[in-house]
Structures are given as structure tokens and as C-alpha cells.
Amino acid sequence: MLQIAIIGLGAFGIRMLEELSAVGSEIIIVDKDSEKIEKYKSKAKVSYITDVINKEAFVKIIPQNVDAAILDFDNNLEPSILATHYLHQMGIKNIIVETQSDTHGELLTMAGATQVIYPELEAAKRITPLLISKQLCNYMQFSSDFSIAEVEILDELEGLSLKNSGIRQKYNLNVIACRSCNEQELLPISGPDFIFTKDCHILVAGSNEKIEAYLAKSIKKEQRGNKILLDRFLKQK
């Protein structure tokens, strides 16, 4: 069973507590706010009310063999740096720290953070593709550089078989499944002879950069169409 220390019950820390407790992790929570500890202690194996600036108390309550430590101090830099530094000195190998600022992220990395999380940035990265392309139907990001997306096919792929489409060579994307726009369920691709039809939606996996490159084709097409409409409108004035 994973043993996780969540230090600081900000919004990110609380969300991680809820997710990790739901999958049966052994969790230690630490916060100086007694009301927060009282509210969430039922989700943790052990809970402590303490200020992380007190190094002696902090070192005593965090086991050196924890699998990971998650820090969230609502973008308060001083306790984030101190706690990160203490954990690093203790030899904790996986230190995940939440912050909102790139500058803070650099300082936290220097203090010993192994991963810096920017929740607002990550949320923006997930939402932006949904807004900018009509060709994107569903999008799920699994890591900082790997996603699965359901997309409509590009015009250039219509009528081509999977093996002749060049989608893997040109876009570095793996096609996992497909469905027509009238169907509810995605079905596995039957083989390399599968033909892309006009109403086809495909489930692709790849890096965020490659998915964005694929979507950029549809965005440019949409922009060209919008420009033509605008030009026509202006000529009528």
C-alpha cells in the first residue's frame, strides 16, 4: 500500500486526499489549521496540526520511507520552500509541490522538489483544445505529455485505409478505435484495411504536441472559412 504525506490542505491537497483515499492509500495529513484537520482526518490514517516552519516537529511526524510527499500551501512560498527543503534533506525521493508561479516553481525545484504542479496551467491546457477546434470531440490528458483524444478525421483522410493514410508517419499518432458520428460506442479498429469515412470519429493516442499539430489542420480550415464569410459580409456593406 502506498504511503503518502499530504502537507498543507489547500484546494489541490484536499483533492489529492480525496482521490488517494478513494483508492486505499495510507495517508498522513499535516496542516496548521485545526478546522481543516478535523474536517478531513477521517480520510487519513494519521493527522497532525503543526506549522512546517517548526523543523523539529516536522521531521518527527513525516516518516523517511513515505512513497511521496504532496505539498500545497496555497501558493505561499516560504512554507513551501522550507517544507520542500526539509523533505529533501530527509531523503524523500518523490516531492510534489503545488504552485501557481513559474518563478516559484524554479525556486521549489532548487529546494528539492521532484515535480512542480501548476493546477491552473494544467486546467487551461485541458480546456483550450476543447475550445479552439470543432474537430475535437473528447480529450483526456494522462500526463504532462501524453493524451488520448477523440477527433473527427481530416478531409485528406477521407476514403483512405488506415495503412495508406500515413497518420502514424505524418502525425505520429496511434489510432485506437473509431465510431461514426451517429453511434454512441467506440469500437476497435478492425485492421490496417479499415477505411476512413466522412462521418468517422477516431480515438488517437500520442503526445500533446502531435495531437495539437493534427488539430491545427482543422483550426486553419475553420479560420479560412471564417475569413471567407467575413470578406463576403464586408463586401455587402
Dump pLDDT digits (tens) for 186-230.
888 878 888 888 888 888 898 878 888 887 776 544 444 444 344
pLDDT score of 48 more than 90: yes
DSSP-derived 3-state class of residue 168: helix
CA gap 7, 52 in Å, rounded: 8
The tens digit of pLDDT for each residue in 121-130 reads 665 566 555 5
Q: What is the mean pLDDT of residues 25-32?
A: 93
Mean pLDDT, residues 77-89 taken together: 92
3-state secondary structure of 152: strand
- Beta bridge partners of residue 134, listed in sequence order: none
Task: Taking residues 109-131, report their average pLDDT.
Answer: 74
- Phi, psi angle pair for 95, to nearest 5°: -115, 110
**What pLDDT does residue 215 have?**
79
